Chains A and B, each alone.
Chain A
Amino acid sequence: EAQVTQNPRYLITVTGKKLTVTCSQNMNHEYMSWYRQDPGLGLRQIYYSMNVEVTDKGDVPEGYKVSRKEKRNFPLILESPSPNQTSLYFCASSVGTGGGYEQYFGPGTRLTVT
């Protein structure tokens, strides 16, 4: 089944404790992104990647890191989480021109930082 997977789905952590949210897609998509969703603010892009070793900042990159060492994986790293990073996080992927850039989303990771 074609899908984007994220782990963990739920995470409660404390301020300053480094964490990684994994994202993997099995559709051989070139493009991958991370978004966060907050009430009243909608979906905001954190980082994106156009291919292996090619990443760039989205609208709200502060406090986050990403890497793209393999085409299928795009982990999101919070080096020192803070309470304002409590949010619902989504990983997304899309194929390029041939696939019309249809965007597929993962199931989400609900992060709580205390």
Chain B
Amino acid sequence: KQEVTQIPAALSVPEGENLVLNCSFTDSAIYNLQWFRQDPGKGLTSLLLIQSSQREQTSGRLNASLDKSSGRSTLYIAASQPGDSATYLCAVRPWEGAQKLVFGQGTRLTINP
């Protein structure tokens, strides 16, 4: 059974720092991995989608990497800003056509001005 873990559960850093959020999964046979952002009480916004054949994806200050063999993904945020404060969730789609994403519990990120 696929399990997704995100450590740490919470992270607080000063504005301007570069930071890395971690996501690990137990079964390396995945179809893709998606990073989401969730503001308190709000919906999930898709940040980056990495297919199993890809090593990384970039969008603005965000860079997500994927190492399937080790069961790990990282989300790198450059030059963090207070507006980046949110919960970041990673989710794995186990196989093509799988109708359920397996989510981690999320990392609650606070950027201090």
Contact = CB atoms under 8 A, between A and B. Distances in A.
Chain B binds chain A: yes
Interface of A: 31, 33, 42-43, 45, 48, 50, 56, 58-59, 88, 90, 96-97, 100-108, 110
Nearest to A58: B100
A96 B103 CA distance: 19
Contacts of A50: 99
Contacts of A88: 41
Highest count of chain B CB atoms <10 Å: which of A43, A58, A103: A43
Contacts, number: 55
Nearest to A109: B43
B99 A56 contact: yes
Nearest to B105: A42
17 contacts: A31-B99, A33-B100, A42-B103, A42-B106, A43-B91, A43-B101, A50-B99, A56-B99, A90-B43, A90-B44, A101-B97, A102-B46, A103-B46, A104-B46, A107-B43, A108-B41, A108-B42
Contact of B96 (A101, A102, A104): A101
